[in-house]
A and B are shown apart, each in its own frame.
Chain A
């Protein structure tokens, strides 16, 4: 999944939530609030754009990072293994 698709999914989720809140508001107050609707739509666009631009990882890259986490592991075993190879200890 690309970062763009990920942002669209999140933004779509928020849009669904926004519409739901808007309809609920209509049910509770008996009125359609145009400004409230516009504000919600704007926030959807902004959240989507910010997520796309700023969020550093896609779900895929997060998985990849988890996979490669073991490479980052600064383990004693790595040092021992290298030294044993070079000294022929094992």
Chain B
């Protein structure tokens, strides 16, 4: 129990770290946990201006033309290598520095434009998508966000020109999703004014070929509670003595074109001016970098989902069995419609989140975790359905589906396994945010005492929880879905309060319950994105009449699927077979003794 208490304390500390300091409104997704629908944030659909959109489209046209000529995704996968000429070409096009500001020679893309670019690359090649994201979306992100002027002046210009590559080194043999648990240690050497780093890193994309790496290590920091270990981020270059690449390219299932490395640091001397941000501030940096990375991750899923869906539809229209096209069979129709609904929702959620980031929202950890889970799971489902439609044809390497399947397998694992994100981030932060405000309630010994404190949570919060919010869409076409979304939001808020009042602090240990809470909030957020996007398109008559009619049918179907998911999750929130699952698992693993 002592270990459990310590672990829980650590989780709460991590949740506090995740919650931004200072007074600010909860993010849109956090508001859902108290039954609040902060419509001003998501309606109308947040979008960049027309000029930025046009710039992104023109860039994508150029990029596609270049990829037609230079990128052979099958060869990249087969040879497990992205040719130097491709990397050079990406650099010359500006892809490798497109998020860097113009001041340093970059293209200064908005999140929207970056996501559009990633979407186009992902339509063709998962390895290339991951390579670009590992370099730009997480590799140099800490430098962009937290770098000093000197650090930026030195590194950003060559990064913008694509002359040097960046990587992000967090994962270790004993630390992955638990970012706070890194064991690599940096000890200050006052004589050299430098830190001496020892430790190992693994599964670092671009780690063995990068020219600059953001490395996370534990450092001793003075705190009000005395000296304590805190994670610090360091800028490391491979020419530093003690830097060793033990494996430059690990063999792997998918994303085979990328080089995934194992690194070792033996008395690696890093000058103190290479600290990124503040000493001991690395956890926030790591989590923030990953938050940004998850948005672009979803953009990659969007591109791949679209491509798989289009290929499956084309096949279903042309392949005939029993004198009918496959598209005429009910089960094939179900698959096509499911793929279309999920793809629309993945796209809408990705660009809603990108729009929120472009608008300067400071707190987006829940939203990015939600879309990462949703997009990667949708991509896996779509891959399965597409392969079923193509049947035997999908099993052979002359079609890209087996490559897509191997590549997609990473996405529910990488940048935080979905199970971890659902329970430790989405549910824990959502519930934790309310929990921190009513900490007394969580620590209460009795249910009645806890409920009493819950009622004291604040009249405004209670009213928000009990009042059905409004979802003010402009299009009458979506009025019914909007009402339904509002009702589902309120019901979810009530269920969350009930879960907190029933389980108090132990709610975070109820992972199956937390997973259902995560399911609900994922469905609410994605349905919001779908309604908001379609509402904006209908109001602006954005698209042809036929396309809008398709979008209406697809979006309404997705909403029905999302509301069904919420119903199922809420129905089984308190009446379920979780104990049976736990009991069987514990029997087989000796679970209770393992603790």
Task: Give me the interface of A with B, judged by CB distance under 8 Å.
Answer: 3, 53, 56, 61, 64-65, 67-68, 70-74, 76, 78-89
Contacts and interface: CB of A to CB of B under 8 A. Distances in A.
A85 B549 contact: yes
A77 B422 CA distance: 32
A68 B484 contact: yes
Interface in B532-588: 549-550, 553-554, 556-557, 559-561, 563-564, 567
A79 B333 contact: yes
A86 B550 CA distance: 7
The majority secondary structure among interface residues of chain B is helix
**In the complex, which of the residues B316, B332, B337, B560 has the most CB atoms of chain A within 10 Å of its own CB atom?**
B337
A71 B337 contact: no
B336 A82 contact: yes
Interface of B: 313, 316-317, 325, 327-328, 330, 332-334, 336-338, 340-341, 462, 466, 468, 480-481, 483-484, 487, 490-491, 494, 549-550, 553-554, 556-557, 559-561, 563-564, 567
Contacts, number: 90
A64 B481 CA distance: 11
Contacts of B330: 76, 80
B556 A83 contact: no
Nearest to A55: B466
Nearest to B551: A85
Given A56-B494, A82-B341, A89-B327, A72 B563 contact: yes
A79 to B, nearest CB: 4
Contact of A79 (B327, B338, B490, B550): B338
Contact of A82 (B325, B466, B557, B567): B557
Contacts of B490: 56
A82 B554 contact: yes
A87 B336 contact: yes
Nearest to A53: B466
Given A71-B481, A86-B550, 13 more contacts: A56-B494, A72-B567, A78-B337, A78-B553, A78-B560, A80-B334, A81-B553, A82-B337, A83-B332, A85-B550, A85-B553, A85-B554, A86-B336
B494 A72 contact: no
Contacts of B564: 72, 74
A73 B560 contact: yes
Contact of B480 (A71, A81, A82, A85): A71
23 contacts: A56-B466, A56-B490, A61-B468, A61-B487, A68-B483, A68-B487, A71-B560, A71-B563, A72-B563, A74-B564, A79-B337, A82-B337, A83-B333, A83-B334, A83-B340, A85-B553, A85-B554, A87-B317, A87-B325, A87-B336, A89-B325, A89-B327, A89-B328
Given A78-B556, A82-B557, A65 B336 contact: no
Contacts of B466: 3, 53, 56
A71 B559 contact: yes
B554 to A, nearest CB: 6
A72 B568 CA distance: 12
Contact of B560 (A61, A64, A72, A84): A72
A21 to B, nearest CB: 30
A65 B567 CA distance: 13
